[in-house]
Amino acid sequence: MSPTDYSVVYYLNPTIAASNTAVGRTLDPTSIDGLVYATTPSGDQVLAAATYVYPSSVATPPTPYGSLVQWHQRTEVCGPGTTAIKSSSTLAITGFPRCPAGSVVQPTPYVTMVWQVPVAGGPLAIKPPDIQIVEAATMLTNS
């Protein structure tokens, strides 16, 4: 879902995501839609988070932990397609690496993360800055 040469990379397993959507399953730790990896300055790749995608087949988002689990969209990831976010849009993102050929920057479906690295806001933080994710991953590899 993001350039693989960037310091924080978001991966999505399309087979699991499609299966979860088909049966209306979400927040199932045995069917995680995607993973986030951070690359530390030394080159180590560290699992930073598990990603759950809100399936369009589910009418109401699950809230098993009240307001702790917050569904949100990302606007700075690459996805297939031919229509990029217009530069005049309020969602236009600047300063991010270009998307690989055949993909464009576009908003994601609603997602929630469970962080495996110690980021501010705790394991259910909405979107810590990439630098914080890399620093947290670095702390884990140096301990």
Which amino acid is located at 117 in the chain?
Answer: V
pLDDT at 1: 66
Burial of 121 (0-12, 13-18, 19+ CB in 10 A): exposed
Q: How far apart are the first and last CA of the chain?
A: 30
pLDDT digits (tens, 9 = 90+) for 109-126: 788 999 999 999 899 898
Does residue 107 or residue 33 have the better pLDDT? 33
The three-point CA angle 66-16-125 to 5° equals: 35
pLDDT range class, residue 100, cuts 50, 70, 90: confident
pLDDT range class, residue 84, cuts 50, 70, 90: very low
Residue ranges of domains in the chain: 8-74+109-142
pLDDT digits (tens, 9 = 90+) for 14-72: 999 899 888 888 889 999 999 999 999 999 999 999 999 887 777 777 777 777 788 88
Which SS3 state, helix, strand or coil, does residue 96 take? coil
Q: What's the chain's average pLDDT?
A: 81
Q: Which two tokens stand for residue 7?
A: 């310091």
